[in-house]
């Protein structure tokens, strides 16, 4: 086990709704990244938080937003859900903002948008 947990495991929403996904980092890790993995694709980088500030973002629209808390846990919020948002959402934590330190992944949240 990596020590990174995510909740919920599965979630079903309808188009237009909003969703919040949660991630608890491994102890001592101050950097959290979120990824979206659609069917048949590799994980796509959404954004990264380092010490509560967003310090990197992939090609995702503003309706994908996040937060990192003082204990370094994190949330991913998606507004105005679309069918294409159906995917596995992974979070990963590591120490250091810009380093080669290994990222440790959680098991993911499977989101289905109907």
The closest of 34, 50, 25 to 87, measured between CA atoms, is 34
By C-beta, is 15 or 57 nearer to other proteins? 57
- Out of 42, 70, 71, 84, the residue judged to bind other proteins by CB under 8 A: 42
Half-sphere exposure of 89 (CA within 13 A, CB side): 32
Report which of 59, 70, 69 is spatially closest to residue 20, judged by C-alpha positions: 69
Tokens linked to 28: 């001592």
The answer to whether residue 45 forms part of the interface with other proteins (CB under 8 A) is yes
Q: Which of 24, 33, 74, 109 binds other proteins (CB under 8 A)?
A: 33
The answer to whether 97 contacts other proteins (rule: CB under 8 A) is yes
Query: Which residue matches tokens 């993995």?
Result: 37
Residues making contact with other proteins (CB under 8 A): 1-2, 4, 33, 35, 40-45, 48, 56, 58, 90, 97-108
């Amino acid at each position: 086990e990596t020590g990174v947990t995510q909740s919920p495991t599965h979630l079903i929403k309808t188009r237009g709704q909003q969703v919040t996904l949660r991630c608890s980092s491994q102890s001592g890790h101050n950097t959290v990244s979120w990824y979206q993995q659609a069917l048949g694709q590799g994980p796509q980088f959404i954004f990264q938080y380092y010490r509560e500030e967003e310090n990197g973002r992939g090609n995702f629209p503003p309706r994908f937003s996040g937060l990192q808390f003082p204990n370094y846990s994190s949330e991913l919020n998606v507004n105005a859900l679309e069918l294409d948002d159906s995917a596995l959402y992974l979070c990963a934590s590591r120490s250091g903002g810009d380093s080669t330190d290994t990222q440790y992944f959680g098991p993911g949240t499977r989101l289905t948008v109907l």
